[in-house]
Amino acid sequence: MKKFRESWQRSDSMLCVGLDPVPERFPASIGTTGSAIREFNREIIQATSSLACAYKPNLGFYLPYGVEGIEALLALREDVPADIPLLLDAKVGDIDSTSEAYARAYFDEWGFDGVTAQAYLGHDSLLPLMSRADRSVFILAKTSNPGSGFLQDVQVDGEPVSERVASAAVEWNAHGNLGLVVGATYPEQMKSIRTQVGDLPILVPGVGTQQGDLAAAVAAGLDSTGYGLLVNASRSISYASSGSDFAEAAHNVAKRLRDEIEDARLQAIPQMV
C-alpha cells in the first residue's frame, strides 16, 4: 500500500481515474475497434496524469475485445507513469489454488499494483493475493450499486455483512496491504466502516455518473492523516466529450473533480480534531 500512500502526498490528490473503454463512445478520430482502446486510454492518461493519484481499469471492459482488449490492458503499465499506482478492478475471489493463479497473472505477470477482491469464500480464498506484501488488495465491503443491500446489509451477529467484512480486513491485514471498497452512495456506512478500520485505504466508487454524495463521502471516509481515499470516476471523465476535444474535456472534468475532492477534504479536516 506504500505506493498508494506516497501517491496521495506527491499528487496532492485523491482522484482515481477509471479507464473503462467503450469503443462505441470513442470520437470518430480514434475509431471504434478494439485496437483503438490503447490510443484512447493513452490520450486520457496524458490529459489527467497531473491530477490523478491512481488509475483503475475494469477488467470487464477489456475482455469483450479478445486479444486486442487484453493487449490494451497490459499496455497501461507502459502508458501510466511509473509512480502512479495502477489498480485492476477484477473483483476476484475463489478457492486458494485459483486465487494463486489470479495473483500470478495480475501481480507477477501483468504488473498491477493492486486488485479488487471479494471475501465471499473467506480468508483462505484471498490469502494468495494478500501474501504479495508489495501489492494491494481492496476488498468489497459496501458497493455503490442500488442492489448492494441484498447481502451487504444483512445482519450477522448484530452487524451488517459489510461491516463484518471490514472487521475481517483489519484482522487479515498482516502485511499492511489491504484496503476496502465503500461506495460514495452510502456515506453513513462509510462513516461506520472508517471508525472500524482505522487508516485502511478505501476505494470510493459511485461519484460522477452514479451521483454519490462526494462531500459526505469524503467527510466520512478520511483517515487520520487527512487522506485515505481513492475517489474513483470513470465515465464522467473519459466521455466528457465525444468530439475531437475529448482529451481536453477529460482534463477539465478531472481537474474540477480533483478540486472538489480537495475542497471537501479541507473542509472536513477541522471537524476531525
3 among known catalytic residues: no
Q: Which three cell numbers stand for residue 35?
A: 485496437
Average pLDDT of the chain, as a whole number: 94
Instruction: Collect all residues with Cβ–Cβ distance below 8 Å to 78 and sequence separation of at least 6.
Output: none
Cβ atoms of 91 and 118 within 8 Å: the answer is yes
* Mean pLDDT, residues 29-47 taken together: 92
Q: What is the pLDDT of residues 216-237, one digit of tens each?
A: 999 999 999 999 999 999 999 9
Q: What is the pLDDT of residues 73-117, one digit of tens each?
A: 999 999 999 999 999 999 999 999 999 999 999 999 999 999 999
Question: What whole-number distance in Å separates Cα of residue 147 and Cα of residue 151?
Answer: 9
* Mean pLDDT, residues 114-124 taken together: 97
Higher-pLDDT residue of 34 and 91 is 91
Helices (H), the chain: 2-11, 37-48, 66-79, 96-103, 123-130, 149-152, 161-172, 187-197, 214-221, 235-238, 246-272
Instruction: Collect all residues with Cβ–Cβ distance below 8 Å to 87 and sequence separation of at least 6.
Output: 16, 54, 55, 56, 112, 113, 114, 115, 116, 136, 138, 203, 230
Among the listed residues 3, 91, 191, 255, the single catalytic one is 91
pLDDT at 165 over 90: yes
| CATH code of the region 2-268 | 3.20.20.70
Given pLDDT bands bounded at 50, 70 and 90, which one contains residue 150? Answer: very high
pLDDT at 141 over 90: yes
- pLDDT of 208 reads 67
Nearest residue to 254 via CA among 87, 48, 50: 48
- pLDDT of 119 reads 97
- Residue % of the chain over a pLDDT of 90: 90
- pLDDT of 123 reads 96
- pLDDT of 270 reads 77
- pLDDT of 273 reads 54
The SS3 assignment for 49 reads coil
pLDDT at 210 over 90: no
Pick the range with the lowest mean pLDDT from 15-29, 121-135, 161-175, 199-213.
Answer: 199-213
